Structure 1
Amino acid sequence: MLGSCSTCHDGNTATGKDNGHFITSRECDECHTTNAWIPDIYQHVGLGYEPLNHAGNFACTECHTNNSEVIIWPTPAYQPDCAGCHANDYDNGEDDHNGVSNDRNCATSGCHSISAREW
């Protein structure tokens, strides 16, 4: 069959991305692979873990590279690293840090930890 996945999987001809999928203009096969038409089970290319639990040791930007790629987090358990609080309807990540300049990575700077509850 010629064309891309989205030629048919556009939400009209056949089921496309579900509502929880992040916004992207990338073609499906840039992140997903399949070995058969049915079942349509996919594996994320090279990740080595299921994508929904984000259990890998990767920075968000290793997979989500475009600012237009917005993630919709269905539960707090899916929120990796800084994006857990600094994405979508959460705090946008801009903080005056009480007037102290901060140009370091928030999770590795020694100021915050991913598991910190005092935020």
Structure 2
Amino acid sequence: MSCHNNSTAPGKNVNHITSSNQCEDCHSTNSWSGAVFDHSGITGNCSSCHNGEAETGLPSVHIATDNTCESCHSTNSWTPVTRVDHAAVQGTCASCHNGSTATGKGNNHIASSNQCEDCHSTNSWTGAVFDHSGVTGNCTSCHNGTQATGLSSNHIATDNTCESCHSTN
């Protein structure tokens, strides 16, 4: 700070993050920009700095939520979040799980007119309880060994369709 005192050389710019840290805590003489940042000296919450002015704020592709940053992120791992608490998420599944904000229906997803919430819950996205009433197509359009389990190896040999013996009830 002996040189960067706003007289000899510029000091902290007006948009610098509010911190009790010394310059050397985050910056080195080899890299003044793109500092490795230790958040332990930070005063305030995430949005006091990550507001889109001092530092990057919430990106436009972020999930709409009332949660604070700290609800999902920690200072040790800002990205990627591995688990999202969906309790405060706004909108439907498809408003985030659209293929850009978050992963949407996979290519091998069963063809269905159902909404995500009809089969999945925010507690269990895999292993869904499946209501076949919204399914379009016949059994083998899904139960083909790729999208869903197909004919088992010990099934009796038959030329009948699944629907001849089985029902969705």
When the two structures are superposed, what TM-score results if normalisation uses the length of structure 1? 0.44
> Which one has the largest radius of gyration?
2
